[in-house]
A and B are shown apart, each in its own frame.
Chain A
Amino acid sequence: MTYRTILSTLVGAVLCGALITSANASEYMIVDGTIPASLTGKPGDPDAGKQTAIHRQKGNCLACHVMPVPEEQFHGEIGPDLSDVGSNYSEAELRLRLVDPKALNPDTIMPAFLKVPTSEVHKKFKGKTILSAQEVEDIVAYLMTLKGSYSQ
């Protein structure tokens, strides 16, 4: 279902997936609700990923998600709790959820972290993605370490 939607909405769809070019010219292929291949070919760094995820000008994930980060106060509750997300999803699934969650749920509030937005973007941020490809890889690596439960 999801696969079909993605195929039909993307220009240049090929049989087993679609090749997409994002801002910083990293290409990725969506296959069956996942992005199987690393965006950079370089392994993600989970420690750097945690910092990027927390950073208010970068991932700012705590705006919407509870995460096992006791040193930060006030976790938002818009999205699901991420404390066990590494048990529930594969790396390839998480990669698509960060790159472009709208590929899975067109009406989601969650931002696409690696797509160039086009509508009425503030002049300071024109043409820029929220994160770089490596930052996404780092966050994916960090999320894969989240296996457990956590209460704020």
Chain B
Amino acid sequence: MKYTKYVASAAGLLGLGALLVACSPAEPKLESGYDFATPETQAMQDDDFSNPGFMWVDIGAEEWATVDGEAGKSCESCHGDLSTMKGVTTSYPKYNADDKKMRALQHQINNCRTEQMKAKAWKWESDQMLGMSAIIKNQSKGMPLNVSIKGEAAPFYEKGKEFYFQRRGTLDMACKHCHIDYPGVKIRAEVLSNGLPNGFPTYRLKWQKLGSLHRRFRGCNSNIRAEPYERGSEEYTNLELFLTHRANGVAVESPSVRK
């Protein structure tokens, strides 16, 4: 609606052919969940000392340098300083030729652990995995998300997109019914956002804990009484790809704070 108005007035003002403008519709830039949050929640996120998510970032920092597994290595042994991770996560999930499917950051972390370190994989929602993904994503804080859906990634993107628009559960709703149709609108006491992944892992006041994006997917699925999928499943990883592409251009905030 807004876009149509914009096109009309731009055409009028600048005397451009309306057709020309309409041929290259720029998707309106989406806003982060941060922009829909209360000032109190925003303030909590803004200050690293009051942001409880940093308790997990500290766990991540410690794990980065901790030797584990039969190869006698830590993350640091291969990668050096954490700052080498700057910008890395903006392009995840990423296609991996060995797996022949998409890897979320957590899959990549566990692959380093089992293959390079000969250590045990971490559970998706463990404090170590939350902390490690938080500190790695935090290196890209402020940088725009920028995943590719070209080439090998394309079919996975299509699957994620299909999931996003498919009605499910007793309430028979799709993700899009809440997050595309009604951002900014109140659903009972909550204000719906665009439902973007840029703040994850997120410290949710309701959880009293840092939590993964796939945990949030399970919550949104269960709320409409749909059968949730496993964290790290292909379904949720493809959905993460679709969602991250939708959020391309939006800045990384990890670890964010949400209600």
Contacts and interface: CB of A to CB of B under 8 A. Distances in A.
A56 to B, nearest CB: 9
Interface in B157-182: 166-173, 177-178, 181-182
Chain B CB within 10 Å, residue with most, of A76, A120, A121, A128 = A120
Interface in B139-198: 166-173, 177-178, 181-182, 185-189
A122 B222 contact: yes
Majority secondary structure, B binding face: loop
Chain A CB within 10 Å, residue with most, of B168, B171, B187 = B171
B173 A77 contact: no
A50 B227 CA distance: 30
How many A residues touch the partner, as a band?
A: 20 to 34
Contact of B170 (A74, A76, A109, A122): A122
Majority secondary structure, A binding face: loop
A64 B187 contact: yes
A124 B170 CA distance: 10
Contact of A76 (B167, B187, B226): B187
Nearest to B187: A76
A78 interface: yes
A130 interface: yes
Contacts of A63: 187-188
Contacts, number: 65
B193 to A, nearest CB: 14
A121 B187 contact: no
Contact of B227 (A62, A64, A76, A123): A123
A111 interface: yes
B194 to A, nearest CB: 15
Contacts of B167: 119
A109 B227 contact: no
A75 B185 CA distance: 11
B171 A111 contact: yes
Contact of A62 (B166, B173, B185, B188): B188
Contacts of B171: 111, 117, 130
Interface string A38-79: 000000000000000000000000111000000001111110
B185 A117 contact: no
How many B residues touch the partner, as a band?
A: 20 to 34
B185 A78 contact: yes
Interface in A103-119: 109, 111-112, 117, 119
A136 B24 CA distance: 48
Given A109-B181, A122-B227, A76 B188 contact: yes
List the 7 closest pairs (A to B, CB-CB), nearest first: A74-B189, A120-B168, A109-B177, A111-B171, A119-B168, A122-B225, A117-B172
16 contacts: A63-B187, A75-B186, A75-B188, A76-B187, A78-B182, A78-B186, A109-B177, A111-B171, A117-B170, A117-B172, A119-B172, A121-B169, A122-B225, A122-B226, A125-B169, A130-B170
Interface of B: 166-173, 177-178, 181-182, 185-189, 222, 225-228
Interface of A: 62-64, 73-78, 109, 111-112, 117, 119-125, 128, 130
